[in-house]
Chain A
Amino acid sequence: MTSLHKLLSAAGVAALCVAALSGEALAAGPSCSGGTIKVGAVSTVTGPVDFSEVPKATQAAFEQFNAAGGVNGCKVDYTISDDKADPQVAAQAARDLIDNKEVVAMVGGASLLECQVNGATYKRKNVLAVQGLGVDAACFNSPSIAPVNVGPFTLTTAVSYYATRSLDIKKLCAFFIIIGGTQEAYKAAIENWEKITSQKVHVLDLTLPLQGDLTPYVVKARDAGCDAVINNAVEPGVVQWIKTADAQKITGINWLFLSPGYTEQVAKALADTRQPVYVGTEWEPYTDVNSEANKTWVASMSAAKRPLTAFSQGGYLAAQVFIDIVKGIDGPVTRDAVTLALLKMKPAKYPLAGSPYVFGETPTHSPMQSTKIMKLENGAWKVQTPSWVVLPAT
């Protein structure tokens, strides 16, 4: 791996030298043949879930960029491919975008399984992916993919860290639904929390069912004496968990969830509860539309008539990262140039996210290490941490 990096750096230096030598002849800034920069995204649109809001926000941001004239006359030609949550379709979609459409990068993708399926292809073809929403563990575990979101695993660590730091938690319990190959990633997330806080997890249960009655689990958490429970359930699961806790008249446990729980529907469905419910966000809380950090995103999405959701924040942010990368390129915007620019980029701060985004040359990427915590109050989410909760490095 190191020798590869050396090779890449050498190639980079060589390319820079060549660019420097011929630099006098070229105008500063990016140029492109035919006036277009081809970009793609593989996303789950149809299938068990619909993540299309993410790439559609990327598309909206690119359209506005194009309408404003692009950069040096270069405009983005963006293609969204549906992987239907089917590995074969996902692989085919990536190959089509890379070989036939000749995209320079993948931007704003959001898929149940795309990272797992296409990580190796991206590496082989020297294409990098700025994922709009990294979902599966492979999105945070590949040299060619760097999502703009925190992701469920880092978020598990970050929300647990917040609980230990600010809620004075002594007995943290973790209950996870394990699908696909996520078991190791969740275990690592909890181990990471243990390292940061020098505490031990009180109960770690990796057997939470997707379907079925939750009473035995909620009772188990109570009887074990947990004072906080972190849980990776998605929307309906969050509601069911809290309703079960209410039915069991449980008090004194802080319930911590990840970003899938952070929706207005969950808040409304749990309007009657008195349980302390917390969620960690991927970005600046999207429900806080008046926040300064959300300003450009709100303006952009409102102009494009796209919904103001967390998903559209991810898509929008991915587009911004890519546009900035392109603006920084001197010379033709080719796949190699974009890849090099991403590998060599300096960390870039965006108001939507608490951590600076950086791709870089590390073997895995998880640049986003910050969250804001929301608390459920009378059927609405209230910002609990006005400033970012930043995970300390281990």
Chain B
Amino acid sequence: MNALLTSVVAGLTGGGAYGLLGVCAVFTYRLVAVVNFTAAAIGTTGTFVLVMLYEAGAPLWLAMACGLVAGTVAGIAIGLVMTAWFAESSASTKAAVTVALLVGIVAIGLRLTGGQHPHHFPDLFPGSAMRLAGVELTFSSLLTIGLGVVFTVLAETFLTRTRMGLHLRALSERPMAAELIGVPVRRLAVLVWGITGAVTTFSLMIIAPQRSPDFASLSLLVVPALAAALIGLFRSFWITLVGGIMIGVVEGTMSVFPGLSQYRGAVPFLIILAVLLWLQRGARWDEAR
């Protein structure tokens, strides 16, 4: 079996997760103009509620429902902080605030969940869907990619075809003007935070069983997700989704080459760097002229 093809397929599992979380990041950015570093941490919070309840003997559906509610509440809580105190701040300030919140959530999360001690994450969709190039593609990883596609289509349609989507776009681009013409700014923003909270929580519930089952590692999934969002320039859902999958595939491929694979963790950062440099090229040229 061609080792390269195998590693490409093996990379899909990670890539689907990055793409899905990346799409969530773009959704948040386009609607409330925040580069949200806490996205995965919010999802992780909800997922750990599921795990703790499940470990305590609650039925899976109940634990899952409580986890989703917790993730939504966590999303709304962060949303309230951002809209109450930082609505008028610059994008970089808001991003910095979410980084600070991420550090705080991870610190508290690690304490409450027993640090490095792993937990038993129930597989919500167990089993393998198909075998491709010698790699089992699990239901979970296919579902992650599928969910990414569904969420992309929904977000795209919602933003361009509905009145509410229009309001939300107005809200992110000119919050003051939107408020003046009567758009219920606060309520809409909090709604967006709640929805992304719920979606990322559901995503993390699917992704978590295949990842390192501790609070910090799961929360840091936001880094490749934001790299994917950057590939889509925080605008295009489709490019973000494909970009996320590509990051996973590149990571997988790199593990075949011994010389490269030790730099595997650096892939998202290299991609962020490359995209930033590419974006700056215009500015440099304009200046030179």
Binding site for B on A (CB under 8 A): 49-50, 178, 205-207, 209-213, 215-217, 219-220, 223, 234-240, 243-244, 247-249, 263, 265-266, 268-271
Name the B residues within 8 Å of A206 (CB-CB).
Answer: 262
Q: How far is the CA of A298 from the CA of B87 in the complex (A)?
A: 58
Interchain Cβ contacts under 8 Å between A and B, 16 examples = A178-B262, A209-B265, A210-B265, A211-B212, A211-B220, A212-B14, A215-B13, A215-B252, A216-B252, A220-B3, A235-B117, A236-B116, A240-B210, A240-B211, A240-B213, A265-B119
Please state if B116 and A234 are interface contacts (CB–CB under 8 Å).
yes
Please state if A220 and B136 are interface contacts (CB–CB under 8 Å).
no
Q: Report the minimum CB–CB distance from B264 to chain A (whole Å).
A: 5
B83 within 8 A of A: no
Residue of A nearest to B215 (CB): A236
B209 within 8 A of A: yes
Q: How far is the CA of A271 from the CA of B13 in the complex (A)?
A: 23
Name the A residues within 8 Å of B140 (CB-CB).
Answer: 247
Please state if A209 and B210 are interface contacts (CB–CB under 8 Å).
no
Residue of A nearest to B138 (CB): A247
Please state if B258 and A269 are interface contacts (CB–CB under 8 Å).
no
Please state if A237 and B261 are interface contacts (CB–CB under 8 Å).
no
Please state if B117 and A248 are interface contacts (CB–CB under 8 Å).
no
Q: How far is the CA of A238 from the CA of B213 in the complex (A)?
A: 10
Q: How far is the CA of A237 from the CA of B210 in the complex (A)?
A: 11
Please state if A265 and B251 are interface contacts (CB–CB under 8 Å).
no
Residue of A nearest to B268 (CB): A212
Q: How far is the CA of A40 from the CA of B181 in the complex (A)?
A: 69
- Cβ 8 A contact of A236, one of B138, B212, B251, B256: B212
Please state if B116 and A49 are interface contacts (CB–CB under 8 Å).
yes
- Cβ 8 A contact of B117, one of A213, A219, A247, A265: A265
Please state if B10 and A219 are interface contacts (CB–CB under 8 Å).
yes
Name the B residues within 8 Å of A49 (CB-CB).
Answer: 115-116
Name the A residues within 8 Å of B256 (CB-CB).
Answer: 216, 220
Q: How far is the CA of A249 from the CA of B127 in the complex (A)?
A: 9
Please state if B120 and A219 are interface contacts (CB–CB under 8 Å).
no
Q: Report the minimum CB–CB distance from B3 to chain A (whole Å).
A: 7
B128 within 8 A of A: yes
Using a CB-CB cutoff of 8 Å, which residues 114-134 of chain B contact chain A? 114-121, 128, 134
Taken residue by residue from 3 to 38, chain B's Cβ proximity to chain A (1 for < 8 Å, 0 otherwise) reads as 100110011011001000000000000000000000
Q: How far is the CA of A207 from the CA of B258 in the complex (A)?
A: 7
B69 within 8 A of A: no
Q: Report the minimum CB–CB distance from A52 to chain B (whole Å).
A: 12
B248 within 8 A of A: yes
- Cβ 8 A contact of A212, one of B3, B119, B262, B265: B265
Q: How far is the CA of A240 from the CA of B134 in the complex (A)?
A: 20
Taken residue by residue from 216 to 227, chain B's Cβ proximity to chain A (1 for < 8 Å, 0 otherwise) reads as 010010000000
Please state if A269 and B134 are interface contacts (CB–CB under 8 Å).
no
Name the B residues within 8 Å of A263 (CB-CB).
Answer: 117
Using a CB-CB cutoff of 8 Å, which residues 241-276 of chain B contact chain A? 248, 251-252, 255-256, 258, 261-262, 264-265
Please state if B118 and A236 are interface contacts (CB–CB under 8 Å).
yes
B135 within 8 A of A: yes
Please state if A207 and B118 are interface contacts (CB–CB under 8 Å).
no
Please state if A223 and B1 are interface contacts (CB–CB under 8 Å).
yes
Name the B residues within 8 Å of A270 (CB-CB).
Answer: 120
Most A C-beta atoms less than 10 A away, residue of B115, B116, B256: B116
Please state if B3 and A237 are interface contacts (CB–CB under 8 Å).
no
Q: Report the minimum CB–CB distance from A48 to chain B (whole Å).
A: 9
Please state if A207 and B261 are interface contacts (CB–CB under 8 Å).
yes
Please state if B13 and A213 are interface contacts (CB–CB under 8 Å).
yes
- Cβ 8 A contact of B119, one of A50, A213, A238, A269: A269
Residue of B nearest to A266 (CB): B118
Please state if B213 and A269 are interface contacts (CB–CB under 8 Å).
yes
Name the A residues within 8 Å of B14 (CB-CB).
Answer: 212-213, 215
Please state if A249 and B136 are interface contacts (CB–CB under 8 Å).
yes
Q: Report the minimum CB–CB distance from B14 to chain A (whole Å).
A: 3
Please state if B220 and A216 are interface contacts (CB–CB under 8 Å).
no
Residue of A nearest to B14 (CB): A213
Name the B residues within 8 Å of A212 (CB-CB).
Answer: 14, 251, 264-265
Name the B residues within 8 Å of A217 (CB-CB).
Answer: 255
Please state if A237 and B212 are interface contacts (CB–CB under 8 Å).
yes
Name the B residues within 8 Å of A265 (CB-CB).
Answer: 114, 117-119
Q: Report the minimum CB–CB distance from B182 to chain A (whole Å).
A: 46
Q: How far is the CA of A269 from the CA of B211 in the complex (A)?
A: 13
Please state if A216 and B7 are interface contacts (CB–CB under 8 Å).
yes
Q: How far is the CA of A178 from the CA of B220 in the complex (A)?
A: 20
Q: Report the minimum CB–CB distance from B105 to chain A (whole Å).
A: 17
Q: Report the minimum CB–CB distance from A43 to chain B (whole Å).
A: 16
Q: How far is the CA of A263 from the CA of B3 in the complex (A)?
A: 35
Please state if B7 and A235 are interface contacts (CB–CB under 8 Å).
no
Q: Report the minimum CB–CB distance from A19 to chain B (whole Å).
A: 48
Q: Report the minimum CB–CB distance from A85 to chain B (whole Å).
A: 14
Starting from the known contacts A223-B3, A234-B116, A236-B116, 5 additional A-B residue pairs (CB-CB under 8 Å) come to A209-B264, A213-B10, A236-B118, A237-B212, A265-B117
Residue of B nearest to A270 (CB): B120
Please state if A216 and B11 are interface contacts (CB–CB under 8 Å).
yes
Name the A residues within 8 Å of B255 (CB-CB).
Answer: 207, 216-217, 220
Q: Report the minimum CB–CB distance from A386 to chain B (whole Å).
A: 28
Please state if B261 and A219 are interface contacts (CB–CB under 8 Å).
no
Name the A residues within 8 Å of B258 (CB-CB).
Answer: 205, 207
Using a CB-CB cutoff of 8 Å, which residues 76-103 of chain B contact chain A? none
Q: How far is the CA of A50 from the CA of B110 in the complex (A)?
A: 12
Name the A residues within 8 Å of B252 (CB-CB).
Answer: 213, 215-216
Q: Report the minimum CB–CB distance from A35 to chain B (whole Å).
A: 39
Q: Report the minimum CB–CB distance from A381 to chain B (whole Å).
A: 14
Please state if B217 and A236 are interface contacts (CB–CB under 8 Å).
yes
Q: How far is the CA of A216 from the CA of B256 in the complex (A)?
A: 8
Name the B residues within 8 Å of A239 (CB-CB).
Answer: 118, 212-213
Q: Report the minimum CB–CB distance from A208 to chain B (whole Å).
A: 9
Name the A residues within 8 Å of B209 (CB-CB).
Answer: 243
Q: How far is the CA of A205 from the CA of B256 in the complex (A)?
A: 10
Residue of A nearest to B135 (CB): A219
Please state if B11 and A269 are interface contacts (CB–CB under 8 Å).
no
Q: Report the minimum CB–CB distance from A369 to chain B (whole Å).
A: 27
